[in-house]
A and B are shown apart, each in its own frame.
Chain A
Amino acid sequence: MIHLRRACSSALLAAPLAGCSGNWQSALDVYGTSAISLKHLIILIVAVCSLVWMLVMVALIAALWRSRDARPVSPEPGRERRLTIAVTGAVVATVLIISTFTIMSFVATRALSVAGQDELTIRVRGLQWWWGLEYIGPDPTSRFETANEIHIPVGRNVRLKLEGLDVIHSFWVPSLAGKQDLVPGRSNELTIRAEHAGIYRGQCAEFCGMQHAHMALLVIAEPQADYDTWAATQRQAAARPTDEETATGLQTFLAKPCAACHTIRGTAAAGTTGPDLTHVGGRRTIAAGLFETTRGSLAAWTADPQTIKPGNNMPMVPLTPDELRAMSAYLASLK
């Protein structure tokens, strides 16, 4: 694997390089409108630059090769003139390439803004170290809150209103679009549009403190119908406990400090410091992309969040094994 990557990279060519990747968080494995055009630009610029580098290397190697024969050293006017012409030519070529890049870049910058009407607006709030999401609909009843997992309909423009609530974060889902910072006191926007259904991972790209490394999010692009179903579910209050274990879990959740920071709509838990947990069991990951959501991971996370993600703002709440079991069952049931 390593050898393959090295082989691909050594030529500094983007085309084979792209073939080497194939993951879900990559600027070269692209499924969003602007990321696709960015990839074209990247390949083009990298290709031209690689060519330039190779030309320089050819000149360098030729110069080193040439110098092996012993010739007189005193500069003579004729040679100096030829050298001047060569250097001037190279500088002119540089200027031309640079100008072309500048114009290309300018054109591509304008293309960065995705054309067309925005069809969905989401407030994305960056917090240490998770993403708060608020879907804004045409009327107040259609708005809802969730966290760390953005669902969007395929082929639609989605406008993200980016707000940094504590420090600067940066929203970056490379397979869909370039990054944009979430700056406290300023409102930035980014429009994304997925061309293909899929799960795209993103990660905070601006250093934001202790757990910058664990501040991921997923963007799930799905057909409109699936998206509508999902959104309808999200608007609903949390599922009621169906059995004794989950009922105990809810009670524990409310009796312990948990409810002071988390909201579970439809229950008394209405804290706003941590992520909204109304449908936490239905999200693919917990703790900002750290684990796949399972009953086990929920239990592990609740039991000792500070060992798993040191420095995050969730304290370790002392729970008995029974309480932990019940609560993880309850949380997992919140689909």
Chain B
Amino acid sequence: MRLDPPIADALDKIALMPNRIGGAPPNVYFVLGRPYEVNAYNLSQGKRLYAWFGCKSCHGDGRGGSGPGFLDGWWSYGPEMVSIFASIRDGRPHGMPAFGDKMTTDQIWQLAGYVQTIGSYEGKTAAPSRNDEKQTRPAENRAPAKLLFDEGPTPVHRDQGPTP
């Protein structure tokens, strides 16, 4: 719940490739045991942040809108956590704003973990289940990407498939 400031600082220092796609998270991320991918609390907090920070207005429930969707196996910048983290923190061309000044490092990681989970083809044990609201698609723990877009355009970007 409370990330010590030095750890938060360290978690902020991701190593991105020059094209800002892919890279490596800081070592501390692995030391902590990839908490933003496997910890159910972080993922469910990520889901709340997804709603609170208005991600829905562009990305909908994950199927996209004015922004790209996450369920179709098409990751514009790759499915790695660092890429998603960088997209949220620094923004991306064509309209993705930077959230680095609106969210803390901890929150960005939580949100990144959740976003990656939406597009996952395998339901994670720790993934959140449905919300108490109108149902638009199967919840993340049931791997909606697999249910909804199994025959989607995956082959085109096989190298950037949904499972990191």
Contact = CB atoms under 8 A, between A and B. Distances in A.
Interface in A239-278: 255-257, 259-261, 273
Interface residues of B, number: 16
A318 B1 contact: no
List of 6 A-B pairs having minimum Cβ-Cβ separation, nearest first: A306-B2, A260-B102, A315-B104, A273-B52, A257-B102, A311-B1
Interface in B1-31: 1-3, 5, 8-9
Contact of B101 (A184, A256, A304, A313): A256
Contacts of B53: 260
A68 B48 CA distance: 70
Contacts of B2: 304, 306-307, 310, 316
Contacts, number: 38
B3 A316 contact: yes
A133 to B, nearest CB: 20
A317 B52 contact: no
A185 B102 CA distance: 31
Contacts of B102: 257, 259-260
Given A260-B103, A313-B48, 18 more contacts: A184-B132, A257-B101, A257-B103, A257-B104, A260-B53, A260-B102, A261-B52, A306-B1, A310-B1, A310-B2, A311-B1, A315-B104, A315-B106, A316-B5, A316-B8, A316-B106, A317-B104, A318-B104
Contacts of B5: 316, 318
Interface string B98-127: 000111101100000000000000000000
A311 B1 CA distance: 6
A257 B107 CA distance: 11
B41 to A, nearest CB: 9
A307 B53 CA distance: 24
Contacts of B103: 257, 260, 315
B57 to A, nearest CB: 14
A117 B140 CA distance: 49
Contacts of B132: 184-185
Interface in B85-107: 101-104, 106-107
A306 B103 CA distance: 15
Nearest to B100: A257
Contacts of B107: 257, 315
